[in-house]
Amino acid sequence: MKRALAFVFVLVTLAALAAPGGPPDLTWPDGSRYWGAQRFNQPNGQGYLITATRDVYEGRFVDGQLTGSGRMTGYDGAVYEGEFKQWLFDGQGRLKLPNGDEYQGGFQRGVYEGQGTLKYARPRADGRTQETGSWQQGRLENPAERERFVLNVETALYRQRPLLDAALAGIEPSQRGRINLYLLAVAGDGSQEVFRREVEFVRNQFDRDFGTRGRSLILVNSRSTVATAPMATVTTIREAIRTIAARMDRDNDILFLYLTSHGAKDHALILNQNAMSLRGLRPKELAGMLEESRIRWKVVLVSACYSGGFVEPLKSESTMVITASRADRTSFGCSDENDFTYFGRAFFKEALPASGSFFEAFTRAQALVGEWEKEDKAPEAERSLPQVFHPRPISERLQRWWAQPRR
């Protein structure tokens, strides 16, 4: 451990010594320093930047962001040389990891994407010293597995209608004399299992703790459920909302709609099944579905990058809207091996069991996500900044529901 720390110290010290002479051209309150071309008090052109966390970036900056060819020397010992896009590895490059592993090939948004080779510093347990091939979202595609996905999707298409019909038929009608909560949870991107795991956890949690058993439905894109669960598409989401609306008391009951997936900069929620191309769900389209359903009371939680773009289109006095990020920010934790995204873990697993309302759970989750991103040394300009819209009418309705005895 001491040797590793010494190596990192020497690496960072050498990087600092390599900085251009003289005082920095720009400084920031957090201690970040920049030498090089600038415009409007932002890095613009060739430059050299040492962040507050002692990571070093060299290359061409555009409007304050490293974009194009450059080099990153990380405080943890990682070194990257190649193409950047808005600070992220994007394009062709070479990354040496702190453990000695080295990857050369394509990147997209900071992860391996396209053709590339990962060389291991130490042989794997089975003797492998490297992995070569086509990467997707940081994972190496396996041709045999890909063929299996295609066959599974063919099976899913054949079975999709009866699977959806059976799921919709299982939704029970509203119980008189109380406010009923209905749950619709959507796992949008089947390329990573984290979204499936998350909606399955949420359904179990709500059925157990919030009385939604018989009134909950999940739509899942996943490599492990293609033949057993209805898929998440724009059409199935619309049909699920319509069916729930028909079974519930639309002026009395509450719909909790949870959507988790990757998100696009234009705010579309990604809907993707392995070996299939599906159209994403746009905020205005979802707003139209909910308006058409005439469901009055709603909580809509969207966990995705740029999900803050859903707030404005969904705003109403009878709707609470929660998002994992601001409209112009990414969120974190989308990884195939994870059980939760950052916001999903913070809200559902950590905050909700200890809270007395969905709004209280949001405030707790917001703080937790901020702490985790700070621990990960995410720059302030890149932190997700979860959002909430909670007007008084829906908040009061939720208080009345929350005060009921659980059944």
Backbone angles phi, psi at 82, to 5 degrees: 160, -150
CB within 8 Å of 371: residues ≥ 6 apart: none
Q: What is the pLDDT of residue 16?
A: 41
pLDDT-above-90 percentage for the chain: 56
Q: What is the pLDDT of residue 1?
A: 35
Residue type, 352: L
State the number of CA atoms in the 13 A half-sphere of 87 facing the CB.
14
Residues constituting the chain: 407
CB within 8 Å of 384: residues ≥ 6 apart: 324, 325, 326, 329, 330, 331, 332, 342, 343, 369, 373
2-140 matches 144-403 in fold: no
Q: What is the pLDDT of residue 52?
A: 83
Where in the chain are the domains?
A: 2-140, 144-403
- Kindly state the tokens that stand for 196: 């499936």
The predicted model scores a pTM of 0.66
Average pLDDT over residues 376-391: 89
Average pLDDT over residues 45-70: 88
Burial classification of residue 251, based on how many CB atoms lie within 10 Å of its CB (0-12 exposed, 13-18 middle, 19 or more buried): exposed
Residue 138: which region, alpha, beta or left (left: phi > 0; alpha: psi -120 to 50)? left
Cα 15 versus chain centre, distance:
33
Average pLDDT over residues 86-106: 90
Place of tokens 């769900």: 281
Helix 234-247, helix 283-293: angle, nearest 10: 20
Q: Judge contact between 173 and 150, C-beta under 8 A.
A: no
Banded model confidence at residue 3, pLDDT cuts 50, 70, 90: very low
Q: What is the pLDDT of residue 143?
A: 55
Q: What is the pLDDT of residue 9?
A: 38
pLDDT tens across 300-339, in order? 999 999 999 999 999 999 999 999 999 999 888 877 778 8
In order, the DSSP letters of 207-236 are HHHSS-TTSEEEEE--TTSTTTS----HHH
CA nearest to 267, candidates 257, 286, 277, 282: 282
Q: Where are the beta strands (DSSP E) in 64-142?
A: 65-73, 79-85, 88-96, 102-108, 111-119, 130-136, 139-140
Banded model confidence at residue 223, pLDDT cuts 50, 70, 90: confident
Banded model confidence at residue 257, pLDDT cuts 50, 70, 90: very high
Average pLDDT over residues 91-108: 91
pLDDT tens across 346-366, in order? 999 999 999 999 999 999 999
The architecture (CATH level 2) of 144-403 comes to 3-Layer(aba) Sandwich (3.40)
CATH code, 2-140: 3.90.930
Euclidean distance between CA atoms 301 and 282, whole angstroms: 14
Cα 345 versus chain centre, distance:
11
CB within 8 Å of 1: residues ≥ 6 apart: none
Average pLDDT over residues 235-255: 97
Place of tokens 């070996």: 275
Euclidean distance between CA atoms 200 and 208, whole angstroms: 12
Average pLDDT over residues 83-88: 87
Euclidean distance between CA atoms 61 and 38, whole angstroms: 9
Burial classification of residue 30, based on how many CB atoms lie within 10 Å of its CB (0-12 exposed, 13-18 middle, 19 or more buried): exposed
Euclidean distance between CA atoms 304 and 344, whole angstroms: 10
Backbone angles phi, psi at 220, to 5 degrees: -135, 130
Q: Judge contact between 19 and 32, C-beta under 8 A.
A: no
Q: What is the pLDDT of residue 114?
A: 86
Euclidean distance between CA atoms 97 and 57, whole angstroms: 16
Banded model confidence at residue 74, pLDDT cuts 50, 70, 90: confident
